[in-house]
Structure 1
């Protein structure tokens, strides 16, 4: 079991490292550029070449059924679910086969509204409650993966 983090602009990298250390799980922080990450033998920074989906492609090509992805990218979440992995957003929202279709549809609707000028597309701020919900969701995902074996 590994945790894959779509690390560009991810607000919960430190939380992932903390929970992974507690469970002795390897973490792949995947980014388009070098970034400072918490020093840990369990954490590997993977810098992929520039490109809009290079980090997503790297994760999707490697993730498997016992793994967990952390991403706010709905299309990457769909690809990870298709590979059999669990997927969690940084606010603690767990993506599943039951809710990913609606999430993709909402993403497309929001894109359309931004393109037509109906929406400015601002995301809500990241709150301490989001951080707490993420920590609980990641812990739940790890426990579920351990039960599945």
Structure 2
């Protein structure tokens, strides 16, 4: 299983969890961003820098991922497309997106987008705290453990 990260908005603490996990389970990890990223030296970790632009990183992830790959993103439309392509998705807050919950999450995202567009809601999600980092680490561990080949 390849791990793909929509890295432009991914918190540093989550990237660090991913670096450790990739090395621990020897899973290829690719961070896709529109800026250069500094990552620790590892044979399992690489970056792909893409041009700036709407959905450029998303399109690269979608074109390169394979069914069964894991994508880390908080982008709900990207998550929906990954699921349709047979991938697994978790958010940096540890929420697992599935075929059973993605339509509801898309509807909620679109509703909130309309409210923001009308000036009703400002600001984003609360800062990432210890509970969210732990939820992400737990969700990642469950997915990696389930997918680990027998040795």
Sort the TM-score into its range (normalised by shorter chain): over 0.9
Rounded to whole Å, the distance in 1 between the matches of 2:134 and 2:43 is: 25
Rounded to whole Å, the distance in 1 between the matches of 2:54 and 2:77 is: 12
Q: How does 1:25-40 map to 2 (within 5 A)?
A: 25-40=27-42
Q: How does 1:1-149 map to 2 (within 5 A)?
A: 1-11=1-11, 12-146=14-148
Gaps of 5+ in 2: none
Gaps of 5+ in 1: none
**TM-score normalised by structure 1 residue count:** 0.94
Rounded to whole Å, the distance in 1 between the matches of 2:37 and 2:125 is: 23
Q: Is the 8 A contact 1:3 1:68 kept in 2?
A: yes
Rounded to whole Å, the distance in 2 between the matches of 1:27 and 1:82 is: 21
Please report how far the alpha carbon of residue 82 of structure 1 lies from its aligned counterpart in structure 2 after TM superposition: 0.8
**TM-score normalised by structure 2 residue count:** 0.93
Please report how far the alpha carbon of residue 5 of structure 1 lies from its aligned counterpart in structure 2 after TM superposition: 0.4
SS at match of 1:29: strand
Please report how far the alpha carbon of residue 63 of structure 1 lies from its aligned counterpart in structure 2 after TM superposition: 1.2
Deviating beyond 6 angstroms after TM superposition, the runs of 4 or more aligned structure 1 residues are: none
- Which deviates further from its counterpart, 116-125 or 7-16? 116-125
